[in-house]
Amino acid sequence: MASESKIKKTSLSSKAAQAELRAKLVRQREQQQRAVLFIGALAVLAVIVIGIVIASRPPDTTLPTDTSGRYAGIPVGTTSSAPNKDVIPYPVAFPYMGNPNAPVRIEEISSFSCPYCLQYHDGTVVKIVDEIRAGRAQFVYIPTTRTGDYSPAGVLAVTEAAVCAMQQNKFWEMHDILFDWQSRYAEGAADHNRLLGAAGQLGMDTGKFNSCMSDPQTVSYIDASDKYVSARGMMGTPTVFLFSNGKQVLPPTQNPNETPGSMAGLSIGSLRGIMEAAVPSASVATQAATQNATAAPTQSSEISAF
């Protein structure tokens, strides 16, 4: 009997020990689970904090270094109507640079999100600024949102930025920035805060710029421009129309895949030749450019495009 009692006590003692061990293991698991949950919560919190910091940090607004002085001394303004009776009148005021009475007029239909327009800007436009400054040509920029690689919202945003910069006489500076940003930031160029930062760095009234970006009239302006380029037969961008002494210069052969009459494929040498042949002498052109630069609007003036 004593032996049986001892066995029962030992058995009971073993069960209690096992129960205590199980309870201990449960407590350990619960502690581990709490620790894991705590670490997970800390990780989520860290991600949230980092996200808030990143979201609140101003976006990079690096500006191209050769923009500020590129157009110094060149008359700038906005058009009223096409100066040639054979051309559909401009529906809105488009930005121009150069002597309005220059013998050569260059019209570019372009999109700030179009990579071929970026190539034309870098390979042609910036390389004929000296001809424009000399009074041999007027360059008119006609924006469109119907081509390019950005989303519809993205191309609209950058085009609005250009139009709003035009309102504060900063179109050509913003024009260069938007093309530079196409390769620098891709569609990130359309970030509203980035565009606002660029406006500030250009010395614009950012309040007016911001209001313009959300103004329905700005969208109406762009819609009118898009309808106009369709009426001109635009098949792609860049489309470039060239006029010398009031007559349109046409390509020797028409590429069926290009806009009829477009001279976008003209070489720099040929374009320079046309501009230089259109005036009797460089000295006369330079004098005309100087006179027009004196009468040109100052950089602090504002231009109404609507």
pLDDT of residue 297: 41
Backbone angles phi, psi at 281, to 5 degrees: -160, 155
Amino acid of residue 265: G
pTM: 0.76
**DSSP 8-state code for residue 256:** T
Identity of the amino acid at 55: A
Say if residue 65 is exposed, middle or buried (CB neighbours under 10 Å; 0-12, 13-18, 19+).
Answer: exposed
Q: What pLDDT score was predicted for residue 4?
A: 56
Q: What is the DSSP letter of 281?
A: -
Q: How far from the centroid of its chain's Cα atoms is residue 12's Cα? A: 82
Specify the residue for token string 């436009």: 125
Q: What is the CA radius of gyration of the chain?
A: 33
Asked if 134 and 285 count as a contact pair (C-beta separation under 8 A), the reply is yes
Q: Taking a C-beta distance cutoff of 8 angstroms, is the pair 209, 89 a contact?
A: no
Q: What are phi and psi of 140, to 5 degrees?
A: -115, 130
User: How many residues are recorded in the chain?
Assistant: 306
CB hemisphere CA count around 116 (13 angstroms)? 13
36, 61 Cβ separation under 8 angstroms: no
- Residue found by looking up tokens 């006369």 in the block: 284
Question: CA-to-CA distance for 99 and 104, rounded, in angstroms?
Answer: 9
| H, E, C per residue of 135-159 | CCEEEEEEECCCCCCCCHHHHHHHH
Average pLDDT, 10 consecutive residues per value, the chain (306 residues):
57 72 77 76 61 53 79 93 81 96 97 98 96 96 97 98 97 97 96 97 96 97 98 96 95 88 95 90 47 42 57
d(CA 71, CA 69): 6
Q: What angle, 0 to 180 degrees and rounded to 10, lies between the N-to-C axes of helices 192-201 and 171-185?
A: 140
Phi, psi of 191 (to 5 degrees): -60, 125
Name the β-bridge partners of 141.
Answer: 108
pLDDT of the residue at 44: 67
Beta strands 137-143 and 104-110, pairing class: parallel
pLDDT at 12: 59
